[in-house]
């Protein structure tokens, strides 16, 4: 299928393979799509904003955004390590959120020696961009979001600190600023709370310890239910620490853990035109929820 005539490309490859935004492109030079390597056209008139777009191509906007964002992150890290650009930064929420609404800029750690696209980790999962150190040992991972977020199983099993970033936002900053839409790095604090960094680390350790204790206390092993992972720990309505199970898809796969249960959906409400008022009706479908392993109370989704 050919790309739409309105399809624009955020960056294009020059003759040296470097990704160049349209604002920096030079008329008359050849540029290629970062995804399919087909030639792209630079529009640099006076009426419209400068932009690239495809001729005939099977590329989609989603594919080009995804590839462009990954390569821009790698290019930004390479430029920084070569001394040709500033260190990429992570623009993160303070670990004291939601009480603290400040966002803070965390420079990429100096121990990161380079970035690699499509890096396979020891867990078996392939991440969009791997940040590696000495001997290419993985330090962290960056997942690029276009239309499909990281699923629950991969999120649980990645095995290194990771973040998920929006592809469009990465392209806008040329990979130099990464603002997580999901943040699974170690806790980071704003300047006002920096003196509590050790406290935030201890909180994270306590949370991991609680999760491991609850998993060990289950009367079965998680591995017996391959379609499920433990995604979080929360408090049940009766005040107990409880595990929240996650799975891929709308319906939980079989076999199900004993603490993933079916329950009635909330009562629905419709407008009764004959009586000109809202009235409650019976729920027309069930929903699935995790249950507290100690008291059986349903956990909020």
Show me where the domains of the chain are located.
Answer: 8-59, 81-192, 218-290
Give the chain's radius of gyration (CA, Å).
24
DSSP, res 264: E
Buried b or exposed e, range 220-240, using 16+ CB within 10 angstroms: eeeeebebbbbbebeebeeee
The residues that bridge with 32 in the sheet, in sequence order, are: 13, 39
Residue 53 contacts residue 61 (beta carbons within 8 Å): no
Provide, for the chain, the percentages of residues in helix, strand and coil under a 3-state DSSP scheme, each rounded to the nearest 5. 25, 35, 45
Q: Return all residues near 221 (Cβ < 8 A) that are at least 6 apart.
A: none
Q: Return all residues near 233 (Cβ < 8 A) that are at least 6 apart.
A: 207, 210, 211, 214, 241, 242, 243, 244
Residue 13 contacts residue 19 (beta carbons within 8 Å): yes
Q: Which of 147, 146, 144 is nearest to 126 (CA)?
A: 144
Q: Which of 95, 89, 140, 92 is nearest to 114 (CA)?
A: 140
Which pLDDT tens digits describe the chain residue by residue (301 residues)? 334 445 678 899 998 889 999 999 998 899 999 988 888 888 877 777 888 887 766 788 889 999 999 999 999 999 999 999 999 999 998 877 777 788 889 999 999 999 999 999 998 999 999 999 998 999 999 999 998 889 888 988 898 999 999 999 999 999 999 999 999 998 887 777 766 666 666 777 788 889 999 999 999 998 899 889 988 889 999 999 999 999 887 788 999 999 998 887 655 555 666 777 666 655 556 678 899 999 989 887 6
């Amino acid at each position: 299928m050919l790309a739409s005539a309105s399809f624009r490309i955020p960056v294009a490859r020059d003759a040296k393979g470097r990704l160049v935004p349209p604002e920096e492109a030079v008329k008359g030079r050849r540029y290629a799509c970062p995804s399919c390597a087909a030639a792209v056209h630079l529009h640099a008139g006076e009426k419209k904003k400068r932009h690239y777009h495809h001729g005939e191509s099977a590329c989609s906007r989603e594919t080009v955004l995804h590839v462009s964002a990954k390569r821009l992150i790698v290019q930004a890290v390479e430029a920084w390590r070569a001394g040709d650009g500033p260190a990429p930064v992570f623009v993160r929420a303070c670990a004291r959120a939601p009480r603290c609404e400040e966002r803070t800029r965390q420079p990429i750690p100096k121990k990161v020696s380079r970035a690699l696209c499509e890096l396979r980790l020891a867990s078996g999962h392939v991440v969009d961009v791997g940040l590696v150190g000495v001997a290419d040992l993985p330090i962290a991972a960056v997942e690029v979001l276009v239309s499909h977020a990281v699923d629950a199983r991969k999120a649980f099993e990645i095995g290194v600190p990771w973040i998920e970033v929006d592809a469009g936002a990465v392209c806008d900053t040329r990979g130099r600023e990464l603002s997580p839409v999901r943040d699974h790095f170690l806790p980071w604090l704003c300047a006002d709370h920096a003196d509590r960094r050790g406290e935030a680390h201890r909180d994270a350790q306590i949370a991991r310890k609680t999760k491991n204790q609850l998993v060990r206390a289950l009367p079965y092993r998680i591995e017996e239910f391959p379609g499920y992972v433990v995604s979080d720990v929360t408090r049940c309505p009766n005040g107990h620490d409880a595990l929240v199970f996650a799975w891929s898809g709308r319906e939980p796969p079989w076999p199900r853990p004993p603490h993933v249960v079916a329950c009635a959906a909330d009562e629905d409400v419709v407008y009764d035109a004959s009586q000109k008022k809202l009235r409650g009706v019976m729920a027309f479908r069930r929903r699935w929820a995790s249950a507290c392993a100690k008291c059986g109370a349903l956990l909020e989704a």
